[in-house]
Amino acid sequence: MSCSTPESAVLKRPSWGKMVQKLMDFNHADDTKPSVSSEKRDSGYFSEILTEDPFEEALCAEIVDNLSEILAEASARAVGWSRLIVPDQLVEHIGQELLHLAAEEPCGLKGALIDLCVENGKNFQSIGQLSVDPYTVPTFHLTFLLRPDLGGLWPKVTRRLSNSLRLSTGFTAVKKKLYSSSEAYIEEL
């Protein structure tokens, strides 16, 4: 299950300024509410998984924004299509999974190295990589294996007419702890 990386793969890092601003916005939110800002509550992110750490939630929101940018800028031509269509639910599920998979890590989300790959036939093609914190040695590597939406007749018709690939809301998450010799953790969503 290797993920080949093309020369055009993007290495992105979250903006600390944006993350600090989100943390400050969180601190000004009503303290009597659960520990999630109204912006995140309204957007649907983290509706199932909440942490007690507002920094982790702000960092996760920033990571999700950066992953959305990577997906928006991804050259679908690398997987044989002219355009990649990303459903909002996919991005929300990835955000929830990020919080879930980082919960037991010593550095939390700051220790994550994240790869996004799209299924291309029997292989997966890398479309981007994100190093969460350039000043923290990564403690775990997450690979999100995204699948095309192949259900029903409509995706097949639109794929042929517009030469676009719509991603499914389901994906496979592979987690490898970099500080341990344990096996990779695979979760199918």
Is the whole model's pTM more than 0.85, yes or no? no
Task: Find the mean pLDDT for residues 66-86.
Answer: 78
Could you say which DSSP state residue 24 is in?
H
Residue 130 above 90 pLDDT? yes
Considering only CA atoms, which of 117, 105, 109, 103 is closest in space to residue 63? 109
- Phi first, then psi, for residue 174 (nearest 5°) are -115, 125
Task: Find the mean pLDDT for residues 49-78.
Answer: 81
> What CATH fold (topology level) applies to the domain 3-188?
Ribosomal Protein L22; Chain A (3.90.470)
Buried b (16+ CB within 10 A) or exposed e, 100-136: bbbeebebbbbbbbbbbbbbeeeebbbbbbbebbeee
| pLDDT band per the 50, 70, 90 thresholds, residue 17 | low
Buried b (16+ CB within 10 A) or exposed e, 162-183: eeebbbbbebbbbbebeeeeee
pLDDT of residue 15: 60
CA distance 35 to 57: 9
Considering only CA atoms, which of 86, 103, 87 is closest in space to residue 46? 103
Angular region, 80: left φ>0, alpha ψ -120 to 50, beta rest: left
| pLDDT band per the 50, 70, 90 thresholds, residue 137 | very high
CA distance 142 to 115: 6
- pLDDT tens-digit profile of 23-63? 556 555 544 433 333 344 344 444 444 556 788 999 999 99
Residue 13 above 60 pLDDT? no
Instruction: Take residue 40 and report the two structure tokens written for it.
Output: 């995140």
